[in-house]
Structure 1
Amino acid sequence: MRTAYLLLPLAAAIALAACAQQDPASTDVAAPASAQTAQTAQTASPSEAMAETEPTAEAIAGVSGTYVLDPKHTDVIAQWSHFGFSNPIAHFGDVSGQIVYDADNVGASSVEVTLPLSGLNSHVGDFDAHLRSADFFDAAKYPNATFKSTSVESAGPNKLKVTGDLTIKDITRPVVLDVTINKFGEQPMAKRPAAGFDAVTQIKRSDFGMGMAAPNVSDEVELRITTEAVAAGDAPAATAAQ
């Protein structure tokens, strides 16, 4: 009897070893559905996996109307490379202008903006004075920079491409703004319809007669714009696109 008890553990070990030597493919067949799903997910390409997880941009309903830029909530930021060591910025404030937005026919929309150089601010007083000098903007002779659109077109959900003429120092060059529609709705403080946009473009300052120190100080300047515009007081009531 004692011998039988000793043989029981040995028999169990032999049985376990036999199970372990079975064809692995047979265990895959018996794998639960959740495990098979996980394996399928692992073999999916990164682009397919990303497409399944990326949220779809919710379209913002455009609202037709004429909107006046709010200078307190509008900023034009210029940024460039300084000898490759740093990327300084300068702000252009006190911006004025208007946006005419046609929700039913985006191509009929327009933008007109004035940037007074008196609103230029790099947070470095001596540098601001140099920027306003004849070496750069020559603000005493040319106090404003302006932008006037020549075409507006849709560029995808909540995106626009705005082409226009940028004038600095009486030199006009075409630029293209890549625009993001942020929001249409009532501005809670003003209690009036409002619209918000961001935009970005890149220009060469040498195109406008301001090439001093290029290319050590980069000729390319990135412009980033954020604006909030409120429906004009004498404009027709803003209407949403149908």
Structure 2
Amino acid sequence: MKRARYPIAFAVVLFASAFTFVVSQSWKIADGYSIKFSGSGATGIFKELKGQVVFDEHNLPAAKFDVTIPVSSINTGNGLKNTHAKGSKWFDASKYPVIHFTSSKVTKTATGYDAQGELEIHGVKKPFTIPFTFAKNGNGGTFTGNFDVNRVDFGIGEAGGRVDDVFKLQVTVPVTQ
């Protein structure tokens, strides 16, 4: 009789585990984030970042990034350049007030992770992949990413000229639970 209990117990545990849900970690964006851009003709930062971050390195299918950067938070260190960047020839901040990224899939890579999704800048939406790393530290952690964005792909300014078409971005985002 005891032998019959083990297979039944195993079947019950297996059946119950089919209904177990894994909850991913939801993170709050902490102060001290950094969004730097650089290219010839213009360098600077964006001073604001908002959004939802759901990430658990053990449950990547549930990971989700939905973040926005207000264009008005651009700071090149030069008031005239800031005004120009927000104007209609570049970002057109009054018509397109935010830069928006929404992930659809997060995958593990040899050097960290890739967040694949859609990037919207200047009213143009394009598939985009952001490579990043995540370093957990107690009840928090830090996301770090370095990647390029071609401004011309999003209709920002005209190709060529005194400003690079491709800008390098360095993003560091500390998070807390």
TM-score under structure 1 normalisation? 0.60
Counterpart for residue 235 of structure 1: none
Q: Does 1:110 align with 2:42?
A: no
Pick from 205, 208, 215: which aligns with 2:151? 205
Counterpart for residue 94 of structure 1: 48
Q: Does 1:81 align with 2:40?
A: yes
Counterpart for residue 217 of structure 1: 163
Pick from 12, 15, 28: which aligns with 1:68? 28
Pick from 152, 165, 186: which aligns with 2:106? 152
Counterpart for residue 133 of structure 2: 180
Aligned residues of 2:152 and 2:159 also touching (Cα < 8 A): no
Deviation (angstroms), 1:195: 2.0
* Structure 1 unaligned residues grouped into runs of 5+: 1-62, 83-87, 186-192, 232-242
Which string of whole-angstrom CA distances, capped at 9 and with x for unpartnered residues, describes residues 134-186 of structure 1?
A: 010100111111111111011136x111112111121111221110112332x
Q: Partners in 2 of 1:194 and 1:64 — Cα distance? A: 14
Q: Supply the RMSD in Å over aligned alpha carbons.
A: 1.8
Question: Bigger radius of gyration, 1 or 2?
Answer: 1
* Secondary structure of the corresponding residue to residue 73 of structure 1: coil
Counterpart for residue 58 of structure 1: none
Which string of whole-angstrom CA distances, capped at 9 and with x for unpartnered residues, describes residues 97-122 of structure 1?
A: 12101332223211111101121111
Q: Does 1:162 align with 2:115?
A: yes
Name the CA shift for 1:156/1:184 in 2 (closer, same or farther; >3 Å): farther
Q: Partners in 2 of 1:126 and 1:119 — Cα distance? A: 14
Deviation (angstroms), 1:216: 4.1
* Greater fraction helix: 1
Equivalenced residue count is 155
* Secondary structure of the corresponding residue to residue 200 of structure 1: strand
* Structure 2 unaligned residues grouped into runs of 5+: 1-22
**Aligned positions of 1:4-153 closer than 5 A:** 64-70=24-30, 72-82=31-41, 88-153=42-107
Deviation (angstroms), 1:67: 0.4
Counterpart for residue 16 of structure 1: none
Aligned residue type for 1:114:
T
Aligned residue type for 1:77:
K
* Greater fraction strand: 2
